[in-house]
């Protein structure tokens, strides 16, 4: 189980008020968020459309938080440079988004950004095992990607634990993130299983007091 000091909270902008995004980003930084999680959806890889690099670029000026860009788009390769230029600090993508995951991760690193691999609930840990040397982060989806506000899929806790063991055995500095249905209650199980970065949309932006919501998850 990672020490409490290593737990980082990454609120997902998907649950923010889209009519006031600049304000929302400033508010979440002031409330103690560690990263800002930005969900990019194309209506093809996932059945929903969110926003693109233009919005990431506009928000970059509003915040000093690390921008954690979660690509749910296929193909992803043609857009990696655009998200890097827009101000992403970390770019993560799904193995299913293209035929050459290793090359995509190399591209992200060559753009000077941190790289992550995202595993859908049905995607096994083996999908990331042979590219761990190119990963700064592994993200376990605890819902099927596409929408905020879904219920946490408990079967993913065993996957988090397996990845924690794999990362520790590798001796590499790789963050282990979980995304989907994270609340103050499910956060405890995620941390116990070995996660050290928690994404939360509804459980933060859906609450009236962002600082209290972040504290509640961190306190888990
Ligand atoms: C789902 C996204 C998540 C989503 C999480 O496809 O990747 O980041 O915003 O939302 P909650 O925390 O509401 O489940
Ligand atoms: Zn996400």
Task: Report CA torsion sign: 151, 154, 159, 163.
Answer: positive
CB 201 near ligand 1, within 6 Å: yes
Domain count within the chain: 1
At residue 101, the pLDDT reads: 98
Q: What would the two tokens of residue 22 be?
A: 């600049």
Instruction: Report CA(106)–ligand 1 centroid distance (Å).
Output: 26
Dist. CA 120–CA 185, nearest whole Å: 21
Q: What would the two tokens of residue 53 be?
A: 């690099």
CB 41 near ligand 1, within 6 Å: no
The domain of 156 spans 4-218
Instruction: Report CA(9)–ligand 1 centroid distance (Å).
Output: 13
Dist. CA 48–CA 58, nearest whole Å: 22
Dist. CA 19–CA 198, nearest whole Å: 25
CB 144 near ligand 1, within 6 Å: no
Q: What would the two tokens of residue 215 be?
A: 């504290």
At residue 3, the pLDDT reads: 84
Q: What is the CATH number of the domain that holds 184?
A: 3.20.20.70
What does each C-alpha distance from 84 to 77, 80, 101, 111, 194 come to in angstroms? 12, 6, 17, 7, 29
At residue 1, the pLDDT reads: 82
pLDDT tens per residue, the chain (220 residues)? Answer: 888 889 999 999 999 999 999 999 999 999 999 999 999 999 999 999 999 999 999 999 999 999 999 999 999 999 999 999 999 999 999 999 999 999 999 999 999 999 999 999 999 999 999 999 999 999 999 999 999 999 999 999 999 999 999 999 999 999 999 999 999 999 999 999 999 999 999 999 999 999 999 999 999 8
- Side-chain half-sphere CA neighbours of 126 within 13 A: 2
């Amino acid at each position: 189980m990672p020490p409490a000091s290593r737990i980082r909270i990454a609120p997902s902008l998907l649950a923010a008020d889209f009519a006031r995004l600049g304000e929302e980003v400033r508010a979440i930084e002031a409330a103690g968020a560690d990263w800002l999680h930005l969900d990019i959806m194309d209506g093809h890889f996932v059945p929903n459309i969110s926003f693109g690099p233009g919005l990431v670029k506009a928000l970059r000026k509003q915040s000093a938080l690390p921008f954690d860009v979660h690509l749910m788009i296929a193909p992803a390769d043609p857009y990696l440079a655009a998200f890097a230029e827009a101000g992403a600090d970390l770019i993560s993508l799904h193995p299913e988004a293209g035929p050459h995951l290793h090359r995509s991760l190399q591209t992200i690193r060559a753009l000077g950004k941190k790289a992550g691999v995202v595993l859908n609930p049905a995607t096994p840990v083996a999908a990331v095992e042979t590219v761990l040397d190119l990963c700064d982060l592994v993200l376990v989806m605890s819902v099927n990607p596409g929408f905020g506000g879904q219920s946490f899929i408990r079967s993913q806790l065993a996957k988090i634990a397996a990845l924690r063991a794999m990362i520790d055995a590798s001796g590499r500095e790789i963050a282990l993130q979980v995304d989907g249905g994270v609340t103050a209650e499910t956060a405890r199980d995620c941390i116990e299983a070995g996660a050290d970065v928690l994404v939360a949309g509804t459980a933060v932006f859906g609450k009236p007091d962002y600082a209290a919501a972040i504290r509640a998850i961190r306190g888990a």
